[in-house]
Structure formats: structure tokens, C-alpha cells
Amino acid sequence: MAPAGIDKTGRITEPVREIGVAHATDVLVVGGGIAGVMAALASGRSNGQTFLVERFGSLGGTGTAAMMNLFYVPYAASRGLVRELFDRLIARGGAIPGEFVVYDPELYKVTALEMLAEAGVEILLHTLVSDVIMEGKTLRGIVVENKSGRQAILSRVTVDASGDADVAVRAGAPYTKGREADGKMRPMTLIFRMGGVDVPRLVEYVKTHPEDFSPDPLQCMLDLEHHMIRVFGFFKLVEEGKARGELWPECYYFRVESVLPERGVLTVNATRIYGVDGTKAEDLSRAEIETRHQMIQLAAWARKWIPGFANSFILDSASTIGVRETRRIRGEYVMTEDDILAGCHYDDVVGVDANQQNPRQQGGHPPDGKEGGPQDVEAREMIARMFVYEIPYRCLLPREVDGLLVAGRCLSVDHHADVYTRNQGTAMASGVAAGVAAAVAAQAGVPPREADIRAVQAKLQELKVDLDLLRRLGPSPDRLE
């Protein structure tokens, strides 16, 4: 194979070359985060020949590589494949059910692999998408790069669960990046774990200083008996730390969550970097570097000043920065926050999710900075409410491209609806929907936009997806059944 060359003008070119077809499949899923896992699992359970490609060496994406070790969906609202995953994790001591589901990332990796293997899904790890294969406006497959070289993978239907709409954008689908008005995106975070924490002492301090923490019971959970610890605040201690030069200026709070509280292990979700773009390698590199410096500052400060952290240490850190927002496709329908708050019903509903949010806010992560600061009313004063909302099939269908569905963070929603839908609950729901729809379309030999929506809905209900949850409970119920 001839290498790329450079001419006298400095122009670099690659020679024309033939790419070998390494794999061909009915349904190709790009991305092994929770949306991709659920898409591949649902396709496999729907008798679709399914192939999953993942850039890391394990599955889970944000939930494992980025260490966001909680499914932000109430256990009571889970059904079907999602409930099955939760129950398998719980059975092996790897998850705690509640208003959200906290889990052990290592057991999640293994459980996901087991479930996909049982469904007959083929998996190719350590593989990055570098291009798409188009026939007119129809996506026929992808070009990948890995240790084996440059390869082609062909498919009847592809599900883009990359999080950043990588496949959709390369295929020519229109998209929006960040906030519509100015393109700003929510901050990135490097999550890390600390061991050696005296959790009972920490809990006692939080209970005796309620004024220094969020009043939202979902943000401050202190249930040692059921291993549910989540603490958001330490506002006064953080300001004092900044005054001493121990913390960076844009730090306004410290947030920890339970992984193994009985063993003195907590997850820290408090590093923040603004003004970076998760679709640019230079920005991702800067974010990784800066947040690792922040991690060192936070750990040293916590050891000095937070009760229970005197003997703590950094146990490990995420292998990749956590990205909250980048591209969202412009699909056949763009769902808005108004749709969610109004409890809109859709004839083409393919999923329902529920999570707690503050309406007309930023979900705790404003793109403009000062998250958790003195002027951040959402963080310091508001108590989130439960919202239930439907996901229409049209939000999975990119405009201007055939042969493609999306799932997860790159759904067709606006910036304000993204507050609700960027979480792992919607990623799971949209993943199941995309996987079923892809299998139905591939088996019928039609593009996804021509798939029989009634057949898709019937198969989803076979898999115990509750498409009637919103109709039964309304858009903002006091509790879930």
C-alpha cells in the first residue's frame, strides 16, 4: 500500500486505494455507550444480524470510560431491557436501585458484554470510524481504522450512537451544535474516585450544615443504610478555598456520589471546563489536561478541609473526559422543552423517559459558567420535579440521509430539551427504539423512514417497553409506578 505523499508545494495527497470489506451485517451500531449497547441488544433480540463498533476497549462509554456511574432514571420507571440490565447488575451486587440507579462500572462492562453475546451481537472494539460509504443519499456502511488497518463494514441499516453524530454528519445530515443562539455548549468534566473517605463522618457534617448544600433531596441523599450517598454543595468551604488560592476561580461547589460508600469510596463530579468543543481534538486535549490539574487541587483541598476526607486519596480517574453536549441532528421532528412540559403525545412514539429537572433551567450545567455559584438559583434554591415525556420516531431519523438512525445524545431536540434528553435514561430508551426499528427495516428491506411504525411499536411492546407511561401518569407525576 503506497503511503501519503507531499509535493513541492507542501500539498499532501493520498493515492487512490481499494478498501477491503471486513464485515457485512444487517444492522450496524456505531458506539458502545449505553445507547449503542441498548440499540445492539434490541436489534439482536429482534432477530436482526447485528454488529457493534466501539472506539474504546470496553463498553459503557460515558458510564464507564467517563465514570458517570449512575443511570439518571428512577428504577420504578424502568421496563423491558433496561429493567433487565438493572436487575442483572443488582443481582451481582453491582447496582443500587432508587430515584436513580448507581452502579459499579466494572460490573456494568461485563454485564453488557454478556447480554450482547447472548443476543448474538458481534463486537469490534478498539475501532474508530473514519469515513462513510454512500450510494447517493443512502448510507451503505462505514470505513474504520484499527490495528488491522483501514477496513470497510457494510450494513443495511446503521445506528449512530456515537454521542456526537459522527456518522450522521459525515453522511451529510444537517445538525446543530450547542445552543442555537450562539453555539455555546455545556461544560466538560473529568470524574474521579477517592478512597479512604470516612463516609459516616462526612454524612454527619452535611446533616449539621444544611445551609451549605442544595435543598433538593435528589442532590443531597444521605442514606447510609441503602448505600445512597449524593452530596452537592460545600459552598462556603469552596469559597474559602478559593480565597486561599487552593481552588481555581470557576469552582463553586464540590459534589460526591456513592460507588462503594461502605468501603470509603466516593465518586467526585466537580471538575469543570467551559468554552470547549467536544468535536475538536485540540479542545478535548486541553480539557483533559486542565481538568486533571483541577482533580489534584480538589483532592488536596478536600483532605485539608472536608470532614471525613483527612485520610482520603485519589483511587482512579476516568480514562476520558465527560462531554455533555456537542452535535444534535436536525431530524424529521425537532423536540423542544415546550413539548416536554406540555406532555405531548405522538402517533409515532417509540420510547418514554422520566427524570427530575427544573423547567426553563439548564439542568445544572449552564454553558456560560458560574455553575453552582451564588447567582445560580437552580443549584442553590430549586427542587427538581419529575417529568415524563415521549420520544417520537421522527427524532431518530436524520433529514437528507437514508439508511441511518440515531440514538442517544445526538437526538433531534433543541438545546433546552437536551437538558432532559442528554441523560442515560433517554439514551437507553432511544437506543432500544433505534435497535428495534433498524431490525424491522432491515428485515423488510426498506429504509428506516419507510419502516412500518406499527410493527416497530408492536416489537417494542413485546420487549416490554411501556409506551403508555405518559398517558397513564401525566407529564409531571408526584411519583412513578
155: CATH: 3.50.50.60
Q: What is the mean pLDDT of the chain?
A: 96
| 206 in the same domain as 168 | no
The pLDDT of residue 2 is: 82
Question: What's the grid cell of residue 436?
Answer: 428495534
Query: Which of the pair, 137 or 224, is modelled with greater confidence?
Result: 137
The pLDDT of residue 481 is: 65
The pLDDT of residue 390 is: 98
Task: Indicate the pLDDT class of residue 25, thresholds 50, 70 and 90.
Answer: very high
Taking 90 as the threshold, does the pLDDT of residue 99 lie above it?
no
Taking 90 as the threshold, does the pLDDT of residue 197 lie above it?
yes
The pLDDT of residue 383 is: 94
| 212 in the same domain as 133 | no
- Tell me which residue range forms the domain holding 47: 17-182+331-356+390-481
| 290 in the same domain as 253 | yes
**43-62 pLDDT per residue, tens:** 999 999 999 999 999 999 99
Total domain count, the chain = 2
| 107 in the same domain as 61 | yes
**130-184 pLDDT per residue, tens:** 999 999 999 999 999 999 999 999 999 999 999 999 999 999 999 999 999 999 9
In a domain, 5, yes or no: no
Mean pLDDT of 307-311: 99
| 145 in the same domain as 276 | no
The pLDDT of residue 92 is: 95
| 335 in the same domain as 456 | yes
**360-407 pLDDT per residue, tens:** 998 789 999 999 999 999 999 999 999 999 999 999 999 999 999 999
The pLDDT of residue 419 is: 95
In a domain, 376, yes or no: no
Identify the domain boundary among 288, 317, 346: 317
In a domain, 73, yes or no: yes
Q: 428 with 112: CB under 8 angstroms? A: no
Query: Which of the pair, 290 or 2, is modelled with greater confidence?
Result: 290
| 137 in the same domain as 26 | yes
The pLDDT of residue 259 is: 75
| 136 in the same domain as 56 | yes
Mean pLDDT of 54-71: 96
| 215 in the same domain as 97 | no
Give the span between the Cα atoms of 214 and 232, in whole angstroms. 6
Counting beta carbons within 10 angstroms of the beta carbon of residue 207, is it exposed (0 to 12), middle (13 to 18) or buried (19 or more)?
exposed
Give the span between the Cα atoms of 161 and 128, in whole angstroms. 13
In a domain, 372, yes or no: no
In a domain, 366, yes or no: no
| 173 in the same domain as 209 | no
Task: Indicate the pLDDT class of residue 73, thresholds 50, 70 and 90.
Answer: confident
Mean pLDDT of 95-120: 94
The pLDDT of residue 74 is: 83
Question: Is the Cα dihedral 336, 161, 110, 320 positive or negative?
Answer: negative
The pLDDT of residue 226 is: 84
| 234 in the same domain as 91 | no
The residues near 380 (Cβ < 8 Å, ≥ 6 apart) are 214, 215, 235, 372, 374
Straight-line distance from the first to the last Cα atom of the chain, in angstroms, rounded to the nearest whole number: 60
Percent of the chain with pLDDT over 70: 100
Mean pLDDT of 410-424: 96
In a domain, 382, yes or no: no
Query: Which of the pair, 69 or 166, is modelled with greater confidence?
Result: 166
Mean pLDDT of 429-435: 99
Nearest to 441 by CA among 407, 401, 405: 405
Alpha-carbon distances of 58 from 37, 140, 163, rounded to whole Å: 11, 26, 16
| 203 in the same domain as 136 | no
Question: What's the grid cell of residue 95?
Answer: 447496582
In a domain, 373, yes or no: no
In a domain, 361, yes or no: no
